[in-house]
Structure 1
Amino acid sequence: MTLDLGPLDASDAALDPVSARRQRVLGIVIQEYTKNAQPVGSHTIANSYELGVSAATIRNDLAALERDGLLTHPHTSAGRIPTDAGYRFFVHRLLTDQELSTTERTQIRGEFNQVQRELGQLLRTSTAVLARTSQNAALAIPPRAVESRFKHLELVEIHDTKVLLVLVLQEGAVKQQIFDLDAAMGQDELSRLSNELNAKLHDATADQVDARLDGLPPDGSDALLMQQVALLVRDVMQRHDHQAGGEIYRDGLTQVLEAPEFVESASMRKIVRVFEHRSLLDQIIGDYLVDGDVHVVIAGDGRYDDLADISLVIGSYGVSERAVGVVGVMGPLRMAYGRNISVVRFVAGLMSDMVQDIYGYLPHDAASKERN
């Protein structure tokens, strides 16, 4: 059997043959351990992979990789397993893109196309697809506006002077608030006022609301009422901008808990806590998703104790500097990183296109081209 780790990069090209082979051995150990969750020995490698050296030479390579901190071995076994550092070296230095097949991409795109164009349905579909394709737990967080923008409002007559404000923001959030008018107003007048405000406040941020009403007659009754509603809109938008993000959508936790790493109750509780812990996820996302790419967080990268036995592959979707959400997978360190990176990137791309399409962040013909 041969292992395709891709071509050596520029820094690897200068390696002597022994160092290059040891990197291959590390990749083989990680591949075998990912599949079987069993320590990997020199005879397994020599018998299954064509490296052109003896089992004794491979045994020396395993020992050298252990001295370098990339492998370790359980006390009860002569075989080796990867360390956190070994996984990181593999992901950042050896791993090549493992694109989804055309059949898989077509199937996933078809699942999204069958879903009603509603954000909650899309988020549920994304977690179901990620959990099934990765065989790990999946999560999705709705797009969060960097600064929310006005899309539409409706004023609804309730009773006497009481009116319901229904405010829709560009990222899809819907806010409702009841307020009192100085005098009763019929639904026809409220609808007319709604239309005028929708025209004036289109795509405004909270800070832009006041300026949009400049030029109105200061003493007109409509002007006073429009200013009253606009101030309420501004306050609602400002509160929204300071609130935490929306619900986390989750799927696939049960299949992760069946992994050997999480059989013990302490390990099981740890991954459940991380999966449910919103503030920790928000912190991780804020630390890693600064450039919009897919990121791999292995064992917390030494920064998060709760992630000591867990890996995350997370990617952002949406429109940069307008509204950004997150999709990702979570599982044991022993996960198929190449495949998981590819599926997270693909799903994030589909979600970006659909968010743009639904909420009109970009004209339809300016949305990013369809994924192949």
Structure 2
Amino acid sequence: MTELQLSQRRKQVLRIVIQEYVENALPVGSQSIAQKYDLGVSAATIRNDLAALEKAGLLTHPHTSAGRIPTDGGYRYFVANLMAHTDLPSHERHMIRNQFHQARREIDQWLRLSTAVLAKASTGAALATSPRSISSRVKHLELIGIQDKVVLLVLVLATGTLKQQLITLEKPIFQEELSRASNQLNVEISGATAADLPNKLEEFTGFTREVGELVLNTLLQSEEQITDRVYRHGLAQVLAEPEFTDGPQVSRIVEVFEQRTLLQEIYDDVMELSDVQVMIAGEGRFGDMQDISLVLSRYGVPDRFSGLLGVVGPMRMPYGRTVGAVRYVATLLNELMHQLYGQSR
């Protein structure tokens, strides 16, 4: 679609149709364009431009109306060629940043806030997945005596995930010895991945070696888990849009939030990219998601962990503003998470 050659005026007409339709959800006619916009040509000329854009597959018209509406191809052309780089206004960025800094310094709170902010900024439904470790790393561990022969292993991963496991001993170990083992392990394995640990474990013996092996198993299990939590906000406001008045369309957008296999496939695609991705009407292998657009980005700490963040809505979406909102929130999450976890190598 990006190879299609359009005159400057026809690009302008296409941009106007999309902007008007996104705002009003009504077909756009040549007369209304001529009256509202000073293009320097007659309504008849604009009518010819609309017909040419329809022939090119960028516009179509409902049977009951003489006006035009964008096709999925029209939206794709707009995003690829006509969409202005839109940042959120500075006062909105300032307000959002303040909200994040006032929240508790926890990933859970940040992701809840991210979806609320994006839903409000975009009028779409926002989603975020909990971060998935690219390579799970140890941040810190503690050994706490519970009973004479029972010890609690508390393991904190670099993502902030907390793992706990009870260890049954053959003979009692005093807390002083448990603390000494904790300190030794923290010095040696803090920042280590599952791939790093086998060589490091060779340096340990006895109880310390046993704890190290439990840590290794925990890391391996963590890396096997797919993204396990989906945060969402604003689904009700999207379902109120005119595009989602029948069952099949409602089902398709709900599937994005509820089908873990589909979400995992989307996650895998987005993780390969460095910037915001716009998927319109289920491009590529997601072709069955008709009438739906997704604006998605990854977030996280490079080479450590990452998650998915974005907005789901109808094709009739304010793409420039939505892309700007997703990019800003993802960048803000990256900064905050790097401050909290990025130095725990």
Q: TM-score range by the shorter chain?
A: over 0.9
Bigger relative contact order (CA 8 A; separation at least 6): 2
**Secondary structure of 2:283's aligned partner:** helix
Q: TM-score scaled by structure 2?
A: 0.95
Q: Which of residues 103, 124, 132 is equivalent to 1:144? A: 132
Counterpart secondary structure, 1:231 = helix
The one-letter amino acid of 1:182's match is E
Task: Verify: 1:237 aligned to 2:223, yes or no.
Answer: no
8 Å Cα contact 1:356/1:362 also seen in 2: no
CA contact (8 A) 2:270 2:297 kept: no
Q: Which moved more, 1:286-295 or 1:236-245?
A: 286-295
Aligned structure 1 segments of 4 or more residues deviating by more than 6 angstroms: none
State the AA in 2 paired with 1:196: Q
User: Which amino acid counterpart does residue 69 of structure 1 have in structure 2?
Assistant: G
Q: Residue type matched to 2:95 in 1?
A: Q
Question: 1:226 is matched with which residue: 190, 208, 211?
Answer: 208
User: Is the contact made by 1:318 and 1:355 (CA closer than 8 Å) also made in structure 2?
Assistant: yes
Question: Which shows bigger deviation, 300-309 or 253-262?
Answer: 300-309
User: For structure 1, which runs of at least 5 residues remain unmatched after alignment?
Assistant: 1-8, 217-222, 364-372
**SS where residue 342 of structure 1 aligns?**
helix
Matched residue, 1:116: 104
Q: Per-residue deviation at 1:327?
A: 1.2
Q: Contact conserved, 1:150 with 1:205, CA < 8 A, in 2? A: yes
Deviation, 1:302, is: 4.2
Matched-pair identity in %: 51
Pairing of 1:79-228 with structure 2 (within 5 A): 79-216=67-204, 223-228=205-210
Match of 2:31 in 1: 43
The DSSP-based 3-state class of the residue aligned with 1:303 is: helix
> Quick one: which amino acid aligns to residue 349 of structure 1?
T
Helix, strand or coil at the partner of 1:103: helix
Q: 2:272: which partner in 1?
A: 290
Q: Which ranges in structure 2 are unaligned for 5 or more consecutive residues?
A: none
Q: Which moved more, 1:251-260 or 1:301-310?
A: 301-310
Aligned partner letter, 2:342: G
Partners of 1:188 and 1:201 lie apart in 2 by: 20
Q: CA deviation at 1:289?
A: 3.3
Alpha-carbon shift at residue 71 of structure 1 (Å):
0.6
Give the count of matched residue pairs: 344
Shift of 1:157: 1.9
Structure 1 residue identity aligned to 2:239: L
Q: Distance in 1 between matches of 2:169 and 2:271?
A: 45
